[in-house]
Amino acid sequence: MSRQLLLINNIVRDSAMSLVIQRGFWTENRKCTPTAMMKFCIFLQSKEGSEFLDVDLEAARKGRIAEIEADIANHRSKIELLEKQLEKEIVEVERRYLPASQYVPLDEQKLLKRCYDMYVDECIENEEMMRELDQELIEFIKFKYEKEVRMLHIGDFLADEKRKLVLKAWNYERMNKTSDVSP
């Protein structure tokens, strides 16, 4: 923000210096005398000088805002193009890696629920007393059952007959591509 204000201040300063020369306070900036500067400062405090600064500052501010908004619009269009490209690439990757790309892993809540269910089943089977559910138990059952729960979930996903056929076709296709490559 301070960089933007500095730019606007520079624009206003340049406009003010042009006005100084136009109004005859001095002919060149290096020829400014203390008396001439004092007269110019008095002019800036007048109604006409104040209006000049207000108008010039507002014009500079609006110009800078327009530049920034154009830059933002340009970046937004680039972002939109990149998002469309990303969507196309994701679709292509999903198509190439069927059925694996259709697999949706368990979210944390479902994972913990299944881990807890396994814990309960094990307690019942071993006739053990179940502990009260707290953070420590949650961490324990997640550590103990997470891998098994995830593997069962993947197994359930792959148990679908249509997926098995697609996976076999995918494997066959990959194996043929691999065998075509000479060592």
The string of pLDDT tens digits covering residues 128-163 is 999 999 999 999 999 999 999 999 999 998 888 888
Structural tokens at position 122: 């094990």
Q: Do residue 114 and residue 176 come from a single domain?
A: yes
Please give the Cα distance from 26 to 29 (Å, whole number): 7
User: pLDDT tens, 46-95?
Assistant: 787 777 667 666 777 787 888 889 999 999 999 999 999 999 998 888 88
Residues 64 and 144 in one domain: no
The stretches of the chain forming alpha helices (DSSP H) are 2-23, 34-45, 47-96, 108-125, 135-159, 161-180
pLDDT at 181: 52
Contact 56, 49 (CB under 8 A): no
DSSP assignment letter at 27: S
pLDDT single digits (tens) 37-48: 777 778 778 787
Structure confidence at residue 2 as a pLDDT band (50, 70, 90): low
Residue 25 CB: number of other CB atoms within 10 A? Answer: 19
Q: Say if residue 108 is in the same domain as residue 64.
A: no
Higher confidence at residue 120 or residue 170? 120
**pLDDT value, residue 57:** 66
**Domain range spanning residue 10?**
2-96
> Given this model, what pLDDT does residue 145 score?
96
Co-location of 81 and 128 in the same domain: no
Q: How many domains does the chain have?
A: 2
